[in-house]
Amino acid sequence: METLTTFILPLLIAIITTLLYETKRTKPCPKAPSIPDPIPFISNTYLSLTNLPAFQAKVSFFQRTSSNVLTYRLGPKNVYIVQGADNVSPLMRVTNDTGSCDGSRKAMQLANALTFQKDVENPHHDWLDLSNCTIYMLKTCFPSQVRHSSEAFIVGILAPLGFDSSDIKKFARDTSSRLKKGSAWSDTPSHERVWYGLHKVYEEWMTRKKFSYSMAGKYLDDFESRLENKFPVGEYVEGNVFQFLKDEMGAASLVAMCGPRLLNMNGGRKFVDLAWEYDAIAFYILTGAPRWWDRKPFEVSDKFLEAVGRWVEDGWKKFDWDTEADWEEKFGSRFSREMIKWFLHDAKMSMKSARGWMGFVIFALISNTVPITTWALYEIIRDPVLLGEVREEVLTVFEGRTLNTANLLGLPLRIRQGFILGDTIFPKGYLVQAMVTAAHRDEKTWSAEGHPAGKFWAQRHVKSVIKGAPGEGERLIPEFDVAGKRGSFMSFGGGSGMCPGRFIAKQEILMALATMIARFDVEFVEWTTLDGGKASDRAARDDPRYDGTIVVPPDREVK
């Protein structure tokens, strides 16, 4: 009872106080229908935090029956939820930061206009920390308060990543954007532009083809070596697909990005397992949940970040300032090395902050590519016809037993002020969410006769194109096609916040699929529970424990 009182009283105080203040400042736009909230300010907030699948289902229902643009209250704040290609496209569009607040430029898109930040002076306070009753506040178009939406998200997760408060302030106070020129209205000195510095590391050392290909090459070498050691040629082996990919693909990804020392000095396989333990609790941690609510996830987080910290600190002591190698043993990829150098040397941040960011990089590295590869293999393996078609195509990029990476990648996969979107007015300072899950399963956009959007269909994104001169080897070639689906297909986000690791992610996924399909005769045996212990009476579905993450893994194994 005492614990309940400790929880409820701060919640009621926070809601009542902010309600009285906020209702004077902002009102929901009358042109956007509101999602019903049985207990105003509480029901939708509680549902979105404790049962995201149910909240998404509620949103989808009202968007089907009411409007593609809805509004609701997240605690004290007004939030818009946007769906539909015509509405989502502006959110994902790359912007041109001109320094104007007059709304005359189309480049001033909503995605860069609506922002929030934590209390700069108390960055460890977060809106779910009810003992402090600190509420997220949305900022409007004033020079000292501008914060891009993706940057606001990053500021919000730095404390859960273990950043020092002084380093969080560096990010929170930089209003200059991640663009080279910087925002015209920002007064941030050039030497304090941490957003641009961080963005430059990603742009220079991860998105450039030379370095992403180097990392992908290391990944492929390590993954193939693990396959050969795990599965002797000519022998039949029964195993679990998801667990195998978590173990071997996950380890190969870590070695390619961070080098073998990360694993070797942290127990090898034990660190891979620890990384997946962190993956299971990361969403809970990064949303800003208080430690007292449930200590176990924080114990996993502490253990994971300490392991990453040992690797960062040991490598930094032996840092080679002279090497220009694309990959080396201590830090692995050039990206990893340059990121650590930027944090500890260029930006003069702490070891705790550097380890926190590299922990986030590692989490992002494996938490999306492995589940995507798993889902793809599930669908390919269980359909012998599809397996044959994919194998035939994949074999065209092998030269003997060597995978030609370039050929593989060339296969069919070829506010600051108020804003008006359609007939909806978005006032200053409102938060906007694009429902990616709903967009990717929208029946109007993706369904075909006999193939509903919610079920896998291998031909959904493929069209046949005639290649070759008439009468001279003319043939039909399948090509990847999402023409006309802008705003409905958001695999890596969009705009200036688009995933910087999209190139290496795509390469790792395709390499894993191509290697396994080309080198193994694979047969689907049965669906099992995730631990592989019992047969399952149904196929895999999204694991509800991961709702809200980028890629939701399956809740079943394939044997």
| Dihedral angle sign, alpha carbons of residues 230, 231, 237, 241 | positive
Cα–Cα dist 195/173, whole Å: 10
Specify whether the CB–CB gap between 81 and 437 falls below 8 A: no
Sole residue written with tokens 């370095």: 211
Sole residue written with tokens 């990053």: 154
Non-local CB neighbours of 504 within 8 Å, separated by 6+ positions: 206, 212, 215, 216, 219
DSSP letters for 161-192: TT--HHHHHHHHH--S-SSSS--TT----GGG
Identity of residue 184: A
Q: 499 labelled as ligand-binding?
A: yes
Q: Which two tokens stand for residue 451?
A: 């193939």
Q: Which two tokens stand for residue 110?
A: 């909503």
What letters, b where the CB count within 10 A reaches 16 and e where it falls short, cover 36-60? eeeeebebbbebbeeebeebbebbb
Work out the number of other CB atoms within 10 angstroms of the CB of residue 426: 25
Cα–Cα dist 218/241, whole Å: 22
| Dihedral angle sign, alpha carbons of residues 540, 542, 544, 546 | positive
Q: Which two tokens stand for residue 386?
A: 């599809």
CA dist 13 → 18, 72, 118 (Å): 8, 20, 19
| Dihedral angle sign, alpha carbons of residues 12, 14, 15, 20 | positive
Q: Which two tokens stand for residue 23?
A: 């209702």
**Rounded to 5 degrees, what angle do the CA atoms 529, 533, 536 make?**
35
What letters, b where the CB count within 10 A reaches 16 and e where it falls short, cover 313-332? eebbeeeeeeeeebbbebbb
Specify whether the CB–CB gap between 114 and 470 falls below 8 A: no
Q: At residue 350, what are phi and psi to the nearest 5 degrees?
A: -85, 165
- Could you report how far apart the first and last alpha carbons of the chain are, in Å? 47
The continuous run of DSSP H or E covering 381 comes out as: helix 351-381
The continuous run of DSSP H or E covering 203 comes out as: helix 194-205
Sole residue written with tokens 């560096």: 170
**Residue positions in the annotated binding site?**
499
**Residue positions in the annotated binding site for heme?**
499
